[in-house]
Structure 1
Amino acid sequence: QCLMDTRPLAAQILDTLQGHPRFHQLSAKFAVQLDGGEALAMLEHHHDLWLSALERDGQGLLAFGLAGCPVDEPLAAVAQDQGHELLVAVLELFLDLARPEQTRMRHLLMDMSREDFLAQLEPRLSRPLLNIGGWRRQASDAGLHIGTYPQAAPGQVYVGAGTPLGRLDPAMLKGAAQLAREYGDASLRLTPWQSLLLPSIAAADAPAATAALEQLGLLCSPQQALAHLIACTGSSGCGKALADTKSDALQLAGLLQRHGRQLDVHLSACPRSCAAAHVAPATLLAVAPGRYDLYLRDATQPGFGTLHARNLSIEAAEALLDARPRSNLDA
């Protein structure tokens, strides 16, 4: 479903951010998102500037917004060949207007409206901004990072494979590279979901590529419980951790698989939540080795959500999760 190949513009943006001395003043957390309209896309994470591809009257455009994400209502649009110019103008205007303590776009927009920012932005562009009233980016489909799915080119697919709990060891990476050369275009792509993609594979070769990835220990089916769990480094690699989350997650996955459940669960060894940028439907927060508090996501509650039970073993946590209605937690 991609509407443009984002790679050339992304490379141009990266070169500009690295090569333009003034842009080195930007905070390391100042973020730019370029979205090509794909069905597989991370759209919920806020960025200081986001650009999203669309088509209007046969013309390729880039909608854009500030301090938000592509599923928000856009401010305006430019032609795709104007995307780099827009980025430079937005960043230079931000640096002109922001005080030293205003390191992110949202900080600046607390002092001025988006409309005022646009009014000062437009004179810096070679062409007027375009009104695309009524257009909104559709949300992406869940789960498309694991399995086989069609690409735009006829007869070609990509194969997505999850890394077990975010760990990609050298044998996996070397094996995946060999498969990419054998079946695909010799490239690998990493995703925000701790998985990798082998693109440009002939549809007839997808079963063989998938079987080989599984032999390497990668997760190639969304029916695998482990494909839905995330866990931080845990006590085996972090001094702040209260539990061995990696081992506990493997135990939990085995119990869930036995009961035929695929639940999105986050195991966090401390409240910092390093492994998850967004709140999971269920979070197990470590309180001691092998013991966790269970939280269920609740939009009305801060942090991980509503505290459901305290000081649970992995077996007790799985039993409680297994008892939940399937429509509430199943991926």
Structure 2
Amino acid sequence: METGDGLLLRLPARVGGFRADDMAAIADIAERYGNGLIDLTRRANIQLRGVTAESLEHAQRDLRDAGLIPADASAVTPSIMVGPLTGCGAGDLLDADTLHERLLVALSGAPELHALPAKFSFNIDGGGEVAALDGERADIHLRAVVGTSGASVAVGLDTPGAIAWFGPAEIEAAPAVAVALAAGFLARRQPDQRRMRDLPATSIAKLADACGLTPLVLPLRSNSRPQLGMMSDGRGRVIAAGVAAPFGRLSAAMLRRLASCATEAGVASLRVSPWRSLFGKVADPAAGARFVAGATETGFICDGNDPLLAIDACPGAPQCSSATVDTHAVARAVADHMAVLGLRSCHVSGCVKGCARSAAADLTLVGNAGALSVVSAGTARDMPITVIHLDELPAFCQRTVHA
């Protein structure tokens, strides 16, 4: 994908998470073939920025050699999001890594799925109550559930209003069911229907029925994000540590240092979350404390109360050619006022596309020919209540505080 600072190169989620040597390799490749900037995305992927047309082939070669992208360049690689606390002892009902691996195998045997639209995606959720993925959109969801005969997999299809749940399917059969649903989507969709939610409800029902699935009612779990820093289970036992990159952006040097911190603390791997953060299993509180301290010194956010965490911001100018403002600078300026403004959420978007956040925010600031359109309790596409110049932002925040 072409952006204002070159090409984006996306790395798929890795079964078991990214090990320290994986992260070191990613950092090296980001510096060698890109501009050294790395993004953690809303789809829990890693993206390398600033890759050039000349360096793309070399970057892909080195990533293949490191096992970070499929060795087969023709492999079907849709976006797959896996719960970030998989393997950490957070109450999952099944091993989501095994389900992930089986889904990859099933996809490899379905070359017809190359025709899937670029943003078609899957979610795999181990069924735990922490870091539930119910609120994270995907075309096809696989969620562990428990019944009288043990764990099985509920299958969800995205609709405009909510996830339509079906099943459950046996664990061993779930990947094949997901592939059949994706193939069925291709067979039923019209050219302008690029996501599962674009299909009419009747088509969704027929698609599920054709795959042997029946409607299922599931309780909606809270979409609480796992805490940053040291994370404990319900019994007070430390199970994981989490760190966030401000706005999902980090440098190759930061990632390389984080890999060293993980090695020193005995953190075997880190998983990317849809909240632009990384989580790893820790052996004991002392190890977790060492990892968190090192990450904090490196520039990661490890305090869940940091106001930057309440702000969604896209890369902005100059990284994105659609943006007309430096979104990160604007976001940092607003962060100092979040508490006194009483804002629980803020979205700073470089343009009206609103790539960083689709849901409404308490305050949305949208780049508008170098100025900022101000939207209250809405999205980047909604009608602004006013437009301010960048140099008016501090005064705007002060006026709003005293309004």
Q: Which moved more, 1:213-222 or 1:238-247?
A: 238-247
Secondary structure at the counterpart of residue 185 of structure 2: helix
Indicate if the aligned counterparts of 2:317 and 2:327 stay in contact, CA closer than 8 A.
Answer: yes
Match among 203, 211, 220 for residue 137 of structure 1: 220
Instruction: Report the counterpart of residue 244 of structure 1 in structure 2.
Output: 326
TM-score (norm 2): 0.67
Partner Cα distance (2:126, 2:160) in 1: 13
Residue 296 (1) aligns with residue 376 (2): yes
Partner Cα distance (1:281, 1:184) in 2: 40
Indicate if the aligned counterparts of 1:42 and 1:140 stay in contact, CA closer than 8 A.
Answer: yes
Measured against aligned partners, the alpha-carbon deviations of 1:59-95 in whole angstroms (never above 9, x if no partner) come to 1011112224996352221122221121233233334
Instruction: Report the counterpart of residue 235 of structure 1 in structure 2.
Output: 317
Measured against aligned partners, the alpha-carbon deviations of 1:263-307 in whole angstroms (never above 9, x if no partner) come to 421111211212224333321112354x42221225xxx755563
Indicate if the aligned counterparts of 1:297 and 1:305 stay in contact, CA closer than 8 A.
Answer: no
Secondary structure at the counterpart of residue 165 of structure 2: coil
Instruction: Report the counterpart of residue 29 of structure 1 in structure 2.
Output: 119
Partner Cα distance (1:23, 1:306) in 2: 39
Partner Cα distance (1:5, 1:157) in 2: 16
Q: CA deviation at 1:201?
A: 3.9
Instruction: Report the counterpart of residue 279 of structure 1 in structure 2.
Output: 360
TM-score (norm 1): 0.80
Match among 108, 114, 120 for residue 210 of structure 2: 120
Residue 65 (1) aligns with residue 156 (2): yes
Q: CA deviation at 1:241?
A: 2.0
Match among 207, 212, 216 for residue 294 of structure 2: 212
Partner Cα distance (2:283, 2:394) in 1: 41
> Which structure 2 segments of 5+ residues have no match?
1-90
Instruction: Report the counterpart of residue 347 of structure 2 in structure 1.
Output: 266
Secondary structure at the counterpart of residue 168 of structure 1: strand
Measured against aligned partners, the alpha-carbon deviations of 1:110-153 in whole angstroms (never above 9, x if no partner) come to 6x34443333222xxxxxx5775x43231221x42523222599
Q: CA deviation at 1:54?
A: 1.0
Instruction: Note closer, same or farther for the CA distance 1:168–1:256 as it changes in structure 2 (3 Å cut).
Output: same
Partner Cα distance (1:74, 1:239) in 2: 39
Measured against aligned partners, the alpha-carbon deviations of 1:203-246 in whole angstroms (never above 9, x if no partner) come to 24333322221101111112211222222222232333222222
Indicate if the aligned counterparts of 1:266 and 1:280 stay in contact, CA closer than 8 A.
Answer: yes
Residue 226 (1) aligns with residue 303 (2): no
Structure with the greater relative contact order (CA < 8 A, sep ≥ 6): 1 or 2? 2
Partner Cα distance (1:175, 1:89) in 2: 42
Instruction: Note closer, same or farther for the CA distance 1:288–1:255 as it changes in structure 2 (3 Å cut).
Output: farther
Secondary structure at the counterpart of residue 172 of structure 1: helix
Match among 126, 145, 150 for residue 232 of structure 2: 150
How many residues are paired up?
310
For the aligned residue pairs, the C-alpha RMSD in angstroms reads 3.1
Instruction: Report the counterpart of residue 6 of structure 1 in structure 2.
Output: 96
Indicate if the aligned counterparts of 1:256 and 1:322 stay in contact, CA closer than 8 A.
Answer: no
Instruction: Note closer, same or farther for the CA distance 1:309–1:94 as it changes in structure 2 (3 Å cut).
Output: closer
> Which structure 1 segments of 5+ residues have no match?
123-128, 325-331
